[in-house]
Structure 1
Amino acid sequence: MNLGIIGQAAALFAVTNIDDILVLALFFAQGAGHPVPRPAAAGPGRQGRRPGMAAPS
């Protein structure tokens, strides 16, 4: 094998990894300002009161 081809392959591999890191950084930066809403915690009077289920006795 030619050393030039191996060098080119290594350089392309490094460039694609850097590109992937930049794309992931952009995705995470976009989501940083928009927190995911969390469901409300069930209070003492709401436990076991799901639709289609009977209240605990």
Structure 2
Amino acid sequence: MTEKLFDLHEIATADEVFITNSLMEIMPVSSINGNVFGDALPGEITGILSAKI
């Protein structure tokens, strides 16, 4: 897992994408500009982090 500014290519080729903030906590991202990530369900890392909240 890496925290940094990602360019669109890095995001589009990612296995899993999520966003986080203090209100939503962790929210999986299923697609951006029509690029679907995995099977459009929360990924393993998102699940692990969500379980810790």
- TM-score tier after normalising by the smaller chain length: under 0.3
TM-score, length of structure 2 as denominator length:
0.20
If asked which structure has higher relative contact order (CA below 8 Å, sep 6+), I would say 2
Write 1 or 2 for the structure with the bigger share of strand: 2
- Between Structure 1 and Structure 2, whose CA radius of gyration is higher? 1
Write 1 or 2 for the structure with the bigger share of helix: 1
